[in-house]
Amino acid sequence: MGAPDYPPRFDEDLVRPFYDGLAAGELRLPHCARCGTVHWYPPEVLPCHPDAAPEWRTVSGEGVVYSFTTIVRSLLPGDDNTTTPYEVVLVEPDAAPGSRIVALLCDGDGRSPACGLRVQLSPVRAGDHFLPGFRPLP
Ligand SMILES: [Zn+2]
């Protein structure tokens, strides 16, 4: 499985703690500091408590595949399609029901993605950064 070398946008610090967590092999999600609700994708203002700040916490890297697709032709700028095909999954972390993280499916050992597949965080190095990746649990 290839990984597109397409760096995240860090022009704002909104998602940097998420990517810092991936580099450390951890899944970090933003929680409301007041009520503990997880908000993914991180909003600039928390809808539950607009005056509260997000608090990034490390959570379990296990979750379940909510949906998936196979990329057979990359449309990323400058991509020469040497990394295709690869699978992209929407993962609902156990620690954040209702939240869905776009990620790569990796180390599948020939297993096809499926809705309901149990997965574990497995960040994927792509150049000088990491992308969210998950591998199937046995
Ligand atoms: Zn709240």
- Helix, strand, or coil (residue 59): strand
- With cut-offs at 50, 70 and 90, classify the pLDDT of residue 84: confident
Alpha-carbon separation of residue 137 from 36, 52, 65, 111, 126 (angstroms): 28, 36, 11, 11, 23
For residue 2, pLDDT over 60 is answered with: no
Taking the C-alpha atoms of residue 56 and residue 29, their distance in angstroms, rounded to an integer, is 5
pLDDT (mean) for 8-24:
86
Rounded to the nearest angstrom, the distance between the alpha carbon of 109 and the centre of ligand 1 is 40
Instruction: Give the H or E element holding residue 20.
Output: helix 16-23
For residue 47, pLDDT over 70 is answered with: yes
Domain boundaries, the chain: 16-136
C-alpha 42 chain-centroid distance: 12
Rounded to the nearest angstrom, the distance between the alpha carbon of 133 and the centre of ligand 1 is 28
Rounded to the nearest angstrom, the distance between the alpha carbon of 1 and the centre of ligand 1 is 39
DSSP label at residue 38? B
For residue 53, pLDDT over 80 is answered with: yes
- Contact between residue 1 and residue 105 where contact means Cβ atoms under 8 Å apart: yes
For residue 20, pLDDT over 90 is answered with: yes
Rounded to the nearest angstrom, the distance between the alpha carbon of 35 and the centre of ligand 1 is 4
Its pTM stands at 0.88
Rounded to the nearest angstrom, the distance between the alpha carbon of 31 and the centre of ligand 1 is 8
